[in-house]
């Protein structure tokens, strides 16, 4: 599970990791209410901090802004139709944010 990377959709991998690494599950001490008990207060955790998420967003926004200037030759704002046509050809790489 640690090696799984799934792009574009949310998965249940974080839940399965929580279950598999829970001390009671590892010891074999689980029962029919085990999932209800451990998942009642479960919240997904992210290995990416809020600051890292913000930095990734700002970097992507800056790159997009520079790309638009290169394509349109304009530094100011453009009409929505112009910016829509300009952004259609920009490819976006994957953004890995676990737990969001």
User: Domains of the chain: which residue ranges?
Assistant: 1-45, 46-100
Query: What is the reported pLDDT for 34?
Result: 87
Angle at alpha carbon of residue 72, lines to 66 and 77, rounded to 5°: 75
Q: What's the DSSP call for residue 99?
A: T
- Residue 41 has phi, psi (to 5 degrees) of -115, 15
Query: Per the confidence metrics, is the pTM higher than 0.75?
Result: no
In this prediction, residue 79 carries a pLDDT of: 59
Reading the block at residue 95, the tokens are: 């953004």
pLDDT of residue 77: 57
User: Contact 52/46 with Cβ under 8 angstroms?
Assistant: no
pLDDT at site 33: 87
Q: What percent of the chain has pLDDT over 70?
A: 61
Given a contact cutoff of 8 angstroms between Cβ atoms, the answer to whether 90 and 67 are in contact is: yes
- Given a cut of 50, the residues of the chain with pLDDT beneath it are none
């Amino acid at each position: 599970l640690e090696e799984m990377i799934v792009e574009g959709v949310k998965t249940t991998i974080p839940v399965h990791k929580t279950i598999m690494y829970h001390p009671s599950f590892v010891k074999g001490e689980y029962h029919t209410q085990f999932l209800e008990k451990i998942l009642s207060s479960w919240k997904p955790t992210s290995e990416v901090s809020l600051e890292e998420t913000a930095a990734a967003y700002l970097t992507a926004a800056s790159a997009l802004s520079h790309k638009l200037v290169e394509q349109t030759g304009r530094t100011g704002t453009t009409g929505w139709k112009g910016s829509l046509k300009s952004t259609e050809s920009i490819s976006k790489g994957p953004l890995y944010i676990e737990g969001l």
